[in-house]
Amino acid sequence: MTVVTGDDPPLSPPAGRLRRVRAALPTVMPIVAFLLSLATLADVRARMSTAGVIASVVGVASLGLLPRRTLLAWRVCIAAALAVSLFDRPGPWLTFPWSAGHLIALLAILVAVGFRHDLAVLLWVGASTALLFLLFVAPGNGPGMVLLVAVLLAVPYLVSRRASAQRRLAQEEERSALLTERARIARELHDVVAHHMSMIAVRAETAPYRLAGAQLPEPVRTEFAEIAVAARRSLTETRRLLGVLRSEADDTAPTAPQPGLDDLPALAESARDAGAVVTLETEGDLTGLPAGVDVSAYRIVQEALSNVARHAAGAPVRVVVCRDGDRLEIRVVNGPGRPGPAGGGAGHGLRGMRERVSMLEGQLIATPTGDGGFEVHALLPTTPGPATSGPAGA
């Protein structure tokens, strides 16, 4: 039923140069169909009946339905070919009953059907077209035309399926990388949360002893004890969550304090040792930042420097970290350079930066500069709530 009355599946998004080609096809194909129809009309009007001429021109004109209505184009073209065969049955001296333009249109439509449809539809389309050739083509050419139909349907089908599989694989890889980066961020933030929860538990437990001179009422002592118990329960649940996020390779990995903006000079020096020309500028008071902001800001600079090492080795880099009121602004700008060795990144590049900025309700711009370099511009709020100004586009 799909072959007779069904619709075409939606077009999958093309990649690279194919995107421009496909965008032009809806405009180009009607023009090609019109010109080919004129050529066909001039070719057949002297040797076909009026009905045959009309059917030939209609069959060629069906080419204009590509690429959006491939099945409808095939139906029109195959019906027109059948009509020509019936109205103007060829003599034994003719190899094909159709004009060259009509045959070209039919073969081109078969290629389009092969790209668009699944195997079941292709089998019916191929069988119907092959039957038409076997009935009306000269006996010596029938098997060859059947083989040609099979090739024109099978090759585009295999190419399209391979492209579809590659797209799915790329999507899965991107999703896997995204989940890995999120898990890495969560593991880093676990240390931050665990530290603060431990402080809450310790201070709540020791408060009755540290404030013994204040003669705390029993309800207050009970409240402190309940706060300590709640904090320790939260720590336990946080550790369980970390166990879910941690991979087997991470279970035996040594733990270390999470880095922050205080470690930026050492990070810049490490980049200089690797051959980069790094200029580090800081403005404002960078102390007392929320731990999540402090870690994320360091990681953003680290990823930006890693990207420079991978994609613009030897380029000068300017790192500016500025705190202005309730926002922290980060700029990492590099000039043009040469591609560096693959690998060596701390995370997943721009994807990791965007995840961190999104987690903190900040904003990020990563864009090429006019001189062939690249700029990473991040704005992180240092207080709860989304940033209200700065660069747009996360």
Peptide linkage before 257 cis (omega within 30 of 0): no
Query: How far does CA 274 lie from the centroid of its chain?
Result: 32
pTM for the full model?
Answer: 0.55
Identity of residue 318: R
Distances (CA, A) of 281 to 130, 241, 263, 268, 300: 73, 37, 13, 11, 15
Average pLDDT over every residue of 118-131: 93
Judged by average pLDDT, the poorest of 176-185, 220-229, 292-301 is 176-185
Q: How confident is the model at residue 290 (pLDDT cuts 50, 70, 90)?
A: confident
User: pLDDT grade, residue 151 (50/70/90)?
Assistant: very high
Percent of the chain with pLDDT over 70: 84
pLDDT digits (tens, 9 = 90+) for 233-264: 877 777 666 666 655 545 444 455 678 899 99
Region 219-241 average pLDDT: 79
Spatial separation of the C-alpha atoms in residues 182 and 351, rounded to whole Å: 10
pLDDT digits (tens, 9 = 90+) for 163-177: 888 888 888 888 887
pLDDT of residue 253: 45
Residue 83 contacts residue 125 (beta carbons within 8 Å): no
Give the per-residue pLDDT at 391.
Answer: 44
pLDDT band per the 50, 70, 90 thresholds, residue 58: very high
Give me the residues paired with residue 367 across strands.
375
Residue count of the chain:
394
| 7-21, 31-45, 141-155, range with the lowest pLDDT | 7-21
Q: pLDDT digits over 86-96, tens only?
A: 877 654 445 67
The answer to whether the bond into 67 is cis (omega within 30° of 0) is yes
